[in-house]
């Protein structure tokens, strides 16, 4: 297997396994660090928005215009961008709100629930559905990370880091209800860990299905869709979650910091 492909797989795997970090954090903390969470989610959104609009969209546009000419290439870029948004919006729509992993939960929220018992089937169901929902969400994110890293390793690293940050609270969303339903940290961690594996699974599908057909035209369409997916995730999930736990505008500071880091890194590796 080509070294670039292995590198892209490795980045995708690391991003997906960040759900396990969230799971571990949930076990060893009695309260949620809302300041850090707000800052980190804002930072992740800043990275995603900046890299999507400044780098990924432009790369897609250049590839498509080069292949199809100016009017057609620009139109296909915009259509693919919004198609990516539509795809992730449909996925969100199909997942019930109470089982959506992006409906963030604090560790202490579970402890404060009245009538909570260690064999609560509702909590177990919540954890399982959250794990499935994360798996569905992470699949296209895995394709995005893999395709980006394959085309531009530096860009792939940035996207992988941003996705890893936003996977941490998703790990909490799975592990906390499962832990309080079963009393088993091992079961909670295992379910959270497995939910993150859909990220490298998306990369594997991209490798087996898309790679043989990855012409400049296909690459341009995929990249434009990836930009749309990442902007939607940032605006619909990361920023609202960051604002939910916001204190003294930390989410916005995190957003600006994420954009700044992404801008500087792109300039340094031009």
Q: What is the pLDDT of residues 157-186, one digit of tens each?
A: 878 887 887 787 777 777 777 777 777 778
Which 8-state DSSP code applies to residue 92?
Answer: H
pTM for this prediction: 0.72
- Please tell me whether 74 is known to bind a ligand: no
- Please tell me whether 62 is known to bind a ligand: no
- 114 pLDDT more than 50: no
Q: Quick one: tokens of 243?
A: 């604002």
Kindly state the percentage of the chain with pLDDT values over 70: 81
- Please tell me whether 33 is known to bind a ligand: no
pLDDT band at residue 31 using 50, 70 and 90 as cut-offs: low
- 59 pLDDT more than 70: yes
- For residues 205-224, average pLDDT: 83
- Please tell me whether 167 is known to bind a ligand: yes
- CA dist 221 and 226 (Å) reads 9
Residue with tokens 């202490």: 108
CB 161 within 8 A of CB 12: no
- Please tell me whether 170 is known to bind a ligand: yes
- Please tell me whether 141 is known to bind a ligand: yes
Q: Quick one: tokens of 162?
A: 């941003």
Average pLDDT, the chain: 79
* CB environment 229-264: b (16+ within 10 A), e (fewer): bbbbbbeebbbebbeebbeeebbbbbbeebbebbbe
Which 8-state DSSP code applies to residue 31?
Answer: S
CB 81 within 8 A of CB 227: yes
């Amino acid at each position: 297997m080509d070294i670039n492909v292995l590198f892209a797989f490795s980045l995708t795997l690391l991003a997906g396994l960040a759900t396990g970090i969230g799971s571990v954090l949930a076990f060893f903390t009695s309260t949620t660090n809302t300041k850090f969470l707000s800052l980190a989610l804002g930072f992740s959104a800043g990275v995603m928005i900046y890299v999507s609009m400044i780098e990924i969209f432009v790369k897609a546009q250049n590839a498509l215009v080069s292949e199809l000419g100016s009017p057609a290439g620009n139109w296909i870029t915009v259509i693919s961008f919004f198609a990516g948004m539509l795809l992730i919006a449909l996925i969100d729509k199909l997942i019930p709100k109470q089982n959506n992993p992006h409906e963030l939960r604090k560790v202490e929220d579970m402890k404060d629930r009245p009538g909570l018992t260690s064999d609560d089937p509702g909590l177990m169901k919540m954890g399982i559905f959250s794990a499935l929902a994360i798996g569905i969400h992470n699949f296209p994110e895995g394709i995005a990370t893999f395709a980006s890293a394959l085309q531009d390793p530096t860009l792939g690293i940035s996207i992988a880091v941003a996705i890893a940050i936003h996977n941490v609270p998703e790990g909490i969303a799975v592990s906390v209800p499962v832990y309080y339903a079963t009393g088993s940290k091992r079961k909670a961690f295992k379910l959270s860990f497995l939910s993150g594996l859909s990220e490298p699974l998306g990369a594997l599908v991209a490798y087996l299905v898309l790679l043989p057909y990855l012409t400049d035209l296909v690459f341009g369409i995929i990249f434009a869709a990836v930009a749309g997916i990442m902007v939607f995730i940032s605006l619909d999930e990361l920023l609202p979650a960051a604002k939910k736990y916001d204190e003294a505008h930390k989410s916005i500071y995190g957003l600006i910091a994420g954009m700044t880091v992404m801008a500087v890194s792109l300039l340094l590796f031009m």
